A and B are shown apart, each in its own frame.
Chain A
Amino acid sequence: MTDQALRQTEQQLEVALQAARMGTWAIDLVTNELTTSELCRKDYGWPPSQPMTYDDLLGLIHPDDRKMRVDLIRRAFAARDDLEVEYRVNRPDGEMVWILVRGRADYLEDGTPVRAQGVSLDITDRKRAEERQRGLVAELNHRVKNTLAIVQSLALHTHRTTDNPVAFMEALNARVRALAKAHDLLTENSWEGALLKEVIGRTLAPYATETGANRRIDVGGPAVRLNPETAVVLNMAFHELVTNAAKYGALSVPGGAVSVTWTVEDEASPMPIEIEWVETGGPPVQPPTRRGFGSHVLEAGLAHELGGKVTMDFQSRGFVCRMRYALSDRMRVAGP
Chain B
Amino acid sequence: MTVETGLGSAVSKGRVLIVDDQFLIVEFLRIWAEAHGFETCATASTAAGAVEMAVLHKPDCILMDVRLEGDKDGIDAAIEICKSIDTRVIYVTGSSEGPTIARINEDHPFAILIKPIDPAELGRVLERAMEGRA
Binding site for B on A (CB under 8 A): 138, 141-146, 148-154, 156-157, 160, 229, 232-233, 236, 296-297, 300-307, 329-330
Report chain B residues within 8 Å CB of A229. 21-22, 69
Report chain B residues within 8 Å CB of A305. 1, 21-23, 45
> Taking CB as reference atom, which chain B residue is nearest A304?
B23
* C-alpha spacing A26/B6, complex, angstroms: 75
A152/B23 in contact, CB under 8 A: no
Chain B, residues 1-29, CB within 8 Å of chain A (1/0): the string is: 10100000000000000000111111110
Asked if B94 lies at the interface with its beta carbon under 8 angstroms from chain A, I say yes
Partner of A142, one of B27, B70, B94: B94
Report chain A residues within 8 Å CB of B21. 229, 305
Report chain B residues within 8 Å CB of A142. 67, 94-95
B3/A300 in contact, CB under 8 A: yes
* C-alpha spacing A8/B54, complex, angstroms: 77
Report chain A residues within 8 Å CB of B27. 153, 156-157, 296, 300-301
- With A149-B115, A303-B3, A305-B22 already in contact, the answer to whether A156 and B28 are too (CB < 8 A) is yes
B31/A233 in contact, CB under 8 A: no
Report chain B residues within 8 Å CB of A303. 1, 3
Please give 14 more A-B residue pairs, beta carbons under 8 A apart, in addition to A149-B25, A149-B115, A233-B23.
A142-B95, A146-B22, A146-B115, A150-B22, A152-B117, A156-B31, A156-B32, A229-B22, A232-B22, A303-B1, A303-B3, A304-B45, A305-B1, A329-B69
For the complex formed, measure the closest distance between the CB of B118 and the CB atoms of chain A, giving whole angstroms.
10
18 A-B residue contacts at CB 8 Å? Answer: A141-B94, A142-B95, A145-B95, A145-B114, A146-B25, A146-B115, A148-B115, A148-B116, A149-B22, A149-B24, A149-B116, A150-B25, A154-B24, A157-B24, A160-B31, A229-B69, A236-B24, A329-B70
* C-alpha spacing A297/B96, complex, angstroms: 28
Count residues on chain B whose CB falls below 8 Å from chain A CBs: 25
Contacting A at CB under 8 A, from B79-101, are: 94-97
Total contacts A to B, CB within 8 angstroms? 87
A153/B97 in contact, CB under 8 A: no
* C-alpha spacing A229/B26, complex, angstroms: 14
Report chain B residues within 8 Å CB of A148. 115-116
For the complex formed, measure the closest distance between the CB of A174 and the CB atoms of chain B, giving whole angstroms.
15
* C-alpha spacing A294/B90, complex, angstroms: 30
Report chain A residues within 8 Å CB of B115. 145-146, 148-149
A141/B25 in contact, CB under 8 A: no
For the complex formed, measure the closest distance between the CB of B69 and the CB atoms of chain A, giving whole angstroms.
7
9 tightest Cβ-Cβ pairs between the two chains A and B: A145-B94, A153-B28, A301-B23, A153-B24, A149-B115, A148-B116, A304-B23, A146-B94, A145-B115
For the complex formed, measure the closest distance between the CB of A265 and the CB atoms of chain B, giving whole angstroms.
20
A149/B28 in contact, CB under 8 A: yes
For the complex formed, measure the closest distance between the CB of A206 and the CB atoms of chain B, giving whole angstroms.
23
Chain B, residues 39-51, CB within 8 Å of chain A (1/0): the string is: 0000101000000
> Taking CB as reference atom, which chain B residue is nearest A144?
B94
* C-alpha spacing A301/B69, complex, angstroms: 15
For the complex formed, measure the closest distance between the CB of A236 and the CB atoms of chain B, giving whole angstroms.
7
For the complex formed, measure the closest distance between the CB of A312 and the CB atoms of chain B, giving whole angstroms.
17
Report chain B residues within 8 Å CB of A296. 27
* C-alpha spacing A144/B67, complex, angstroms: 14
> Taking CB as reference atom, which chain A residue is nearest B114?
A145
- With A149-B115, A150-B22 already in contact, the answer to whether A141 and B96 are too (CB < 8 A) is yes
Report chain B residues within 8 Å CB of A144. 94
A330/B69 in contact, CB under 8 A: yes
B116/A152 in contact, CB under 8 A: yes
Report chain B residues within 8 Å CB of A302. 23
For the complex formed, measure the closest distance between the CB of A136 and the CB atoms of chain B, giving whole angstroms.
12
Report chain B residues within 8 Å CB of A157. 24, 27, 31
Partner of A150, one of B1, B24, B114: B24
B43/A304 in contact, CB under 8 A: yes
Report chain B residues within 8 Å CB of A301. 23-24, 27
> Taking CB as reference atom, which chain B residue is nearest A308?
B1
* C-alpha spacing A324/B25, complex, angstroms: 23
Report chain A residues within 8 Å CB of B24. 149-150, 153-154, 157, 233, 236, 297, 301
* C-alpha spacing A154/B27, complex, angstroms: 10
